């Protein structure tokens, strides 16, 4: 009887250990952290610095002609929180007396993916931040000229300015774009 009890106990232990040690599934947790990102840069096919050379009129009594450049692009990478949006604002460091420097952005164009917001109408640049694109969410424009927001700059004499405020020289100004956090 002792021998049979030992055999039964051995069979029972093997059966229990086999039943509990076999499994055809298992699992574990993977934690993925997606960072909030706000990156912006200016791209072009050449230099990021532009020159708008005002052209003298061909007839006495006329004003100088507007000058335009559309060679620059804003590239963006953005990841926002679940309810977040971003804006792109623009300002310049100092105004040119007698001239307006205007910028307008076309809506997003290019090879990237995301939620791009809305480009605003033409802005007369000043030393105060003004919103150029609003309601931007998560996305990336892709890199380089031809991707993102194409910028068109126009320099023009102020409609209500005294032409006497203009002085023949080269004015160097800095235009700053900011992607809000």
pLDDT in tens, 36-59: 999 999 999 999 999 999 999 999
pLDDT of residue 23: 81
pLDDT at 136 over 90: yes
Q: Identify any residues that bridge with 130 across adjacent strands, giving them in sequence order.
A: 90
What token pair was written down for 165?
Answer: 């405020």
Query: In this structure, what is the dihedral angle of CA atoms 166, 168, 170, 172, given to the nearest 10 degrees?
Result: -10
What's the rounded Cα separation, in Å, for the pair 167 and 169?
6
Please tell me whether residue 117 adopts helix, strand or coil conformation.
Answer: coil
- Per-residue b/e over 20-54, b at no fewer than 16 CB within 10 Å? eeeeeeeeeeeeeeeeeebebeebbeeeeebebee
Single pTM value for the model: 0.82
The two beta strands, 113-114 and 67-79, are: unpaired
pLDDT tens by residue, 73-126: 999 999 999 999 999 999 999 988 889 999 999 999 999 999 999 999 999 999
Q: Where are the chain's structural domains?
A: 37-45+64-159+167-179
pLDDT of residue 167: 87
What token pair was written down for 141?
Answer: 């424009």
Q: Identify any residues that bridge with 178 across adjacent strands, giving them in sequence order.
A: 89
How big is the CA angle at 73 (ends 106 and 171), to the nearest 5 degrees? 100
């Amino acid at each position: 009887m002792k021998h049979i009890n030992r055999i039964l106990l051995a069979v029972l232990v093997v059966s229990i250990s086999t039943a509990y040690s076999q499994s055809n599934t298992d699992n574990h947790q993977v934690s993925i952290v997606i960072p909030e990102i706000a990156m912006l840069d200016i791209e072009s096919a050449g230099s990021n610095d532009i020159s708008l050379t005002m052209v003298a009129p061909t007839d006495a009594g006329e004003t100088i002609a507007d000058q335009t450049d559309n060679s620059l692009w804003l590239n963006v990478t953005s990841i926002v929180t679940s309810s977040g949006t971003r804006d792109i604002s623009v300002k310049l460091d100092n105004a040119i007396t007698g001239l307006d420097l205007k910028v307008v952005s076309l809506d997003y164009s290019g090879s990237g993916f995301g939620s791009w917001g809305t480009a605003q109408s033409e802005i007369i640049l000043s030393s105060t931040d003004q919103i150029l694109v609003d309601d931007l969410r998560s996305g990336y424009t892709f890199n380089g000229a031809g991707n993102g927001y194409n910028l068109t700059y126009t320099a023009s004499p102020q409609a209500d300015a005294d032409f006497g405020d203009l002085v023949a020289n080269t004015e160097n100004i800095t235009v700053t774009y900011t992607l809000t956090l």
